[in-house]
Amino acid sequence: MSSRAPPVELDFLGLHANAAATEHHGKSSAASSSSIRGMETSAIARIDPQLLRRVVVARPPVTAEEAPPAAPSPMTVFYNGSVAIFDISHQKAEAIMRMAREVTTAKRGDLGNTTLVADSAKDIPLARTKSLHQFLAKRKERLTRMGPYQLGRPGTTSGSNIKSLRVKKEAEAA
């Protein structure tokens, strides 16, 4: 990108409408999550800067060739009464704004807990015990090694296979 893109302002959560209500709520709850050690902080400012830098600087997933070169340009974020400016590439900015749009529209569509619950199941897959995992991996290895004609597979009769093996052994011994 040779020139700076015009500044884009996104009202992520319809905050301009709810600003007063949100701030009042934020200040009144006892152990409000909007303060650490008595200092008022914003959501973004509360993220460990190291972590945020890691995310922001991390290589994006491999995308198609048409992705524009990643020249960083400033992105200004207004949130909950505070401002943060990030130097990020166009792709990252797109990703963040896309994420924000998705969540915003989902929220407006009366999310409730059900969709979140469905997401959680996708994100948290069922884990397997290590011993069983190792066994299944070894089994797969044996099956691929032996090929489709291995003995003992379903569909093959055991008797004929042993007989054929004995015949083979006799032939070898002869």
Which residues contribute to the site for another protein (CB under 8 A)? 12-13, 31, 33, 36-37, 43-44, 46-48, 51-52, 54-55, 58, 79-80, 96, 99-100, 103, 113-114, 116-121, 123-133, 135-136, 139-140, 142-143, 146, 150-152, 154, 158, 161-162, 165-166, 169
84 membership: H or E segment, kind and range:
strand 82-88
- Closest distance between another protein and the C-beta of residue 112, in Å? 8
Is residue 87 within 8 Å of 74, Cβ to Cβ? yes
Whole-number Å distance between alpha carbons of 28 and 78: 22
CB 72 within 8 A of CB 57: no
Complex with another protein: residue 2 or 24, whichever CB lies closer? 24
- For 68, which DSSP code? P
Q: Which is nearer to another protein, 62 or 66 (CB)?
A: 62
* Alpha helix positions (H), 12-113: 15-28, 49-57, 90-108
Residue closer to another protein, measured from CB, 27 or 54: 54
Closest approach of another protein to the CB of residue 54, in Å: 5
The least distance separating another protein from the CB of residue 169, rounded to whole angstroms, comes to 8
Q: Which is nearer to another protein, 65 or 112 (CB)?
A: 112
Cβ atoms 124, 112 nearer than 8 A = no
